[in-house]
Amino acid sequence: MTLDGLNVLVTGGTGTFGHAFVAAVLAEHDPRRLIVFSRDELKQHDMRQLHPDVGDSPMRYFIGDVRDRDRLERAFQGVDLVVHAAALKQVPVCEYNPFEAVQTNVNGTKNVIDAAIDQQVGRVLQISTDKAVNPVNLYGATKLCAEKIVVQGNAYAAESGTKLSASRYGNVIGSRGSVVPLFQEQAKNGQLTITDPRMTRFWITIEQGVRFVLRCIELMRGGEIFVPKVPSMKLLDLAASLAPGCETKVVGIRPGEKLHEVLVSEDEARHAFELEDMYVIEPAAHPWYEDDPWAGAKRVAEGFRLSSDANDTWLTSDDLMRLVG
């Protein structure tokens, strides 16, 4: 799908994903407007140095918070596509500040949906996480709620023509707060902290995440949760690859962490289809579909579960180092 001539807005546009998404859209598409919506004026100032909003540039910068419905209404006027990436996403931060996590991740997503419907935005794609599946921490619980209201938001949006879907993937290599830059920093002191040597995670690069989101925008019909086929890696192997020869210290699993993550649960598998490069979880009920776009796709096997410890694809050390660069 081309974004040429469209008015595109990304919430949380100054984050890791937002930076990569904006760069990719500017390089490969010709949008009429490309709007960065975020609440941090310093980050917007820094981003403006990379992507100026002068002359014939499509760039626009809106200060605002997804908690502010009125501001979203103003920002969404004339917008064709919203990529909703704004969130509080650090697990310890969300555990310590639960009300704030709910305000941004749940209420903020509801505001995005309401504003998009009222302004007749064509498509809204939410960025979700593997931690939304059978969540054990507040961050995951808020993202699960966000997914649910995005999917069922289509029932409210039927008359407006707005389509709402979600993309769900695992840990982003090198993103802010991820374990990769942490290990790289700890390697300078010769000791890395490992929560549990058995722990596994799904891994994706930010560039792969952007490509996946662009493909989801093309495929979405409203209500789907899209899941990419991505590799797993043990945290112990990750540490050994990033800092060979360094001592590792096992510190125990932190509150809100799992040993292994899940991208598609057994219950979701009843409504899941397999494409060449992804899985599509169809909404259990979808009265807004004019037809069933996934009827011809391959259904996953009964009892299917996509978990990081039982994945078909694993990252090798060489693979990781190529991705880290």
Give the CATH number for residue 165.
3.40.50.720
**Closest C-alpha among 40, 32, 29 to residue 9:** 32
Extract the runs of DSSP E, i.e. beta strands, from 12-95.
33-38, 59-63, 81-84
> What local confidence, expressed as pLDDT, does residue 1 receive?
76
Within a domain: 217: yes
Tens digits of pLDDT across the chain (325 residues):
789 999 999 999 999 999 999 999 999 999 999 999 999 999 999 999 999 999 999 999 999 999 999 999 999 999 999 999 999 999 989 999 999 999 999 999 999 999 999 999 999 999 999 999 999 999 999 999 999 999 999 999 988 999 999 999 988 987 766 788 888 888 888 888 988 999 999 999 999 999 999 999 999 999 999 999 999 999 999 888 888 888 888 999 888 889 999 999 999 999 999 999 999 999 988 888 878 888 889 999 999 999 999 999 999 989 888 888 6
Within a domain: 273: yes
Within a domain: 99: yes
CA dist 218 → 22, 199, 325 (Å)? 17, 34, 29
Within a domain: 121: yes
> What local confidence, expressed as pLDDT, does residue 177 receive?
66
Q: How many domains does the chain have?
A: 1
Domain that holds residue 244: 7-324
- Give the whole-angstrom CA distance, residue 201 versus residue 234: 7
Q: Euclidean distance between the first and final Cα of the chain, in Å? A: 29
- Active-site residue, selected from the candidate residues 89, 110, 131, 298: 131
Q: Is 131 a catalytic residue?
A: yes
Q: Residue 132's Cα: distance from chain center in Å? A: 11
> What local confidence, expressed as pLDDT, does residue 152 receive?
96
**Closest C-alpha among 114, 129, 101 to residue 68:** 114
> What local confidence, expressed as pLDDT, does residue 159 receive?
84
> What local confidence, expressed as pLDDT, does residue 183 receive?
87
Within a domain: 2: no
Within a domain: 1: no
Are 135 and 141 in contact by the 8 Å Cβ rule? The answer is yes
Residue with tokens 């969300």: 94
Within a domain: 181: yes
Q: Is the pTM of this model over 0.75?
A: yes
Label residue 52 exposed, middle or buried (CB < 10 Å: 0-12, 13-18, 19+).
Answer: exposed
Counted residue by residue, the chain has a size of 325
Which pair of tokens denotes residue 256? 């809100």
Within a domain: 147: yes
